[in-house]
A and B are shown apart, each in its own frame.
Chain A
Amino acid sequence: MAPGLIHSGHLLASGDEAVALAALDAGVRLGTGYPGTPSTEILEAFSLYGGQAQWAPNEKVALEVAIGVAYSGARALVTMKHVGLNVAADPLFTVAYTGVTGALVVVSADDPGMASSQNEQDNRRYAVAAGVPMLEPSDSQEAYDFTLLAIEVSERWGLPVLLRMTTRVCHSKSVIGTRGPAPPAPRARFERDIPGRVMIPAFARRAHRRLRGQLAGIEAWNEASGPNLRVHGSSRLGIVTSGISHVHAAEAAPEASILKLGMTYPIPMARIREFAGSVARCVVIEEGDPYLAEAIRAAGIAVESKPEMYRFGELNVGRVRRILAGDLSPESETPAGTPPCLCQGCPYRVVFQALRDLDCIVSGDIGCYSLGVLPPFEAMDTLVCMGAAVGVGLGMRHALPPEEARRVVSVIGDSTFVHSGITGMVEMAYNPPPSGHLLIILDNGTTAMTGLQEHPGTGRTLDHRATGRVRYDELARTLGIRRVHVLDPTRDPAGFRELVRQCLDSAELSLIVAERDCLLAAGKIRAYEKCEEPRA
């Protein structure tokens, strides 16, 4: 099923939908990933259009599954938000050495400005660090075209390709034309290649040299015929740009000459040198880190980079005009809108109220429940990354004086726990602090923050069909955690608070699974469960 809006053979599609359409047209065998704004809709759309898509417990596992698909000669797509690539970085760096037989496209959806993230890291750095070619689309058409191109490049040079998107490319809708089915991939088959696939040092040394050779080949191709656009304009002002910054720059400076790079690693430095030499003033317009500007300057090409103040947040037409004008005056602050909050009736409200009443030191985590940090609860003291609630809480237990250590609680959502809290719980059982510890899993039966996705703890697949289910209580008992409580905190809020107090006083290891469906998901969950009942 294709998306609804079709007019004169064109579609109005988001960048995420465009990637999914291209994956479908390219016959991608498997799409996998972990939900994360702004990447989530890619796999949902791919599944909706009829592709094989699945959620993995986390990005590392997703990438490993995708590597296996691509080792088998098939085409694989793996999607994640920028911070997800940190989790998947371990396999990324080494699959660059082994290469792939089929195609492997890794989508990193960055979030400059942090609309829904804990940092605004610029993942273009990963392409350089890992040695992985990188494409940066600037609208939905390019999201479609570059996904197909990423598959071509991946198959031609046998390397994974990073498709680096940003929030405004993922979530903006624009008009696209599609090309129909691409030539099919060869049939999947296992081909033994021990020195190429088994990265013991002796083979890895050879593989690293092979990688650098492949990158040199891609660089030459990118110089000669890469997806780089030259817009001829004034010889007084030239702009080197990529991704979403291109459309802002083209609007802010319609008179300028532009070199818009589609493949930003390996960088086509000869083209940039020639372009910079053809204009009186050459400015690099890019969002986030001065990634291009630093590399271009290191190559000895004189270009202007944006002032440091524009490293922060998203660019837009107004900010690009300011950069071009050299405007360093303070930017007017956008008036704050209404802040988000935990939904009225959210079961987590009871939990945060109890933690506040008991004056707990709360080691928190990533999800809707991060909103427990805001009024009226203000019941979260740390938030670092997915899964950190457990480890950070344990560390505080180890270091704080006993009267404070006793108040430390780790709070983590169900999807986040499966993503990377499980290893934290293993640590808790393995190195228990003298004061014990309390871990609370907020189990609302869905990945609520990103839009109600399934995960291994819900017992349903991406398309909501029944599958195996991870049981948090049984997992904890298996690890030797004896105090395990599973309950709905909303049934008896005072009793829940009392239970938390008892766990803290016990100086033992405790797990409370606070179980109650997300308000927004409850109706859907009931409908899925109904479908799962055996049919007569």
Chain B
Amino acid sequence: MLFSGSIIKGSLDKGMDNMDRRLGSDIMLVPKGSREQAENLLLEGQRGTFYFDGSVDDKVKDIEGISEVTSQCFLKSLSADCCSSEVELVFYDPDTDFVVGPWIETNYKSDLKKDNVIVGSDIVTENGTIKLFGKDYEVVSQMAKTGTALDSSVYFSDESMASVIADAEEKNSFLTEEQKDGDILSSVFINLKDGYNEDDVIRECHAKAGDVFDVVYPKQLNESLSDNLLRITDIVGAVVLIGGILLFGILVLINSVIIESRKQEVALLRVLGNSKSKMALMLISETGAVSLFGSLVGCLLGALIVIPFGRYIGMSLSMPYLGPSFIGASVQVIVIMAIVFLVALVSSILFVFHVTGIEPYLALKKEAE
């Protein structure tokens, strides 16, 4: 319980932190009727096939109060030779992108050329390349794990979009008419200048681009999720705390029964020439060994649940969930084992001193007391 709780809490915190870094815009314009899909995109990185006219970003970029604008286009359900499952293609403008771009740039500093791609952490590459629609692309960087569908995405410069669609058509991949048209966008991300009102800017966007978009507020979504996270982590923290108190209580009870039941054995060993300190060390070592073994088994059982099903836990909580690395989980196991070991020692120490302190004869002849 301690291990599972701490892993869930840590993974939610990490997922939230990750999302916070990923969602860098004040406003996100998405095609009308696509708000829900767009929110899923923000939460879980799941791309949708929603599009509006490719000129929306140009129409709004000069509106007063907007500091920066960038756009992305997603192509979903396109299979790649590299992968057994779907890969999602993201076309973005490396010159203006401030949403995914900085995230990618942590691994890749140069400009993304036309035949270059950046891939998510789950994409398997072969000799540094990936084949899409019969064409090889050089993988110039692989992103860090995000725990979302971003991990199975391939990132292109927007300059590559026309040629990728042409290759897809040539390979008879299914494309909608909109996709074939090519002059499309899925989202426009906007950051505002300080002191400007979101509603005023959105009103002006409607005036310039028409009633073709819905608005999503990533940072508000993030704040709402942060509140949820705080509540969830509070609950998990409370469960871990209660679990810890229960653990201490149970260990006190178990140790009192086990150590008391060994009173005669300890007395006999003392009579046969073993000192009090040696007996105390023996009992404490045994308690420690049992607690270490027990906590290791508990952590492994907990890991069997929270690691394979972590993504589902995140989805059921509607929260971004980024599970621990092997090293992270191992460190967690060591920390939990150390805590349980200490708790076991503290909970047993009084009984150990009580049992080793009894006059051996009185312990051997219980009825004498």
Chain B associates with chain A: no
- List residues of chain A with CB under 8 Å of any chain B CB: none
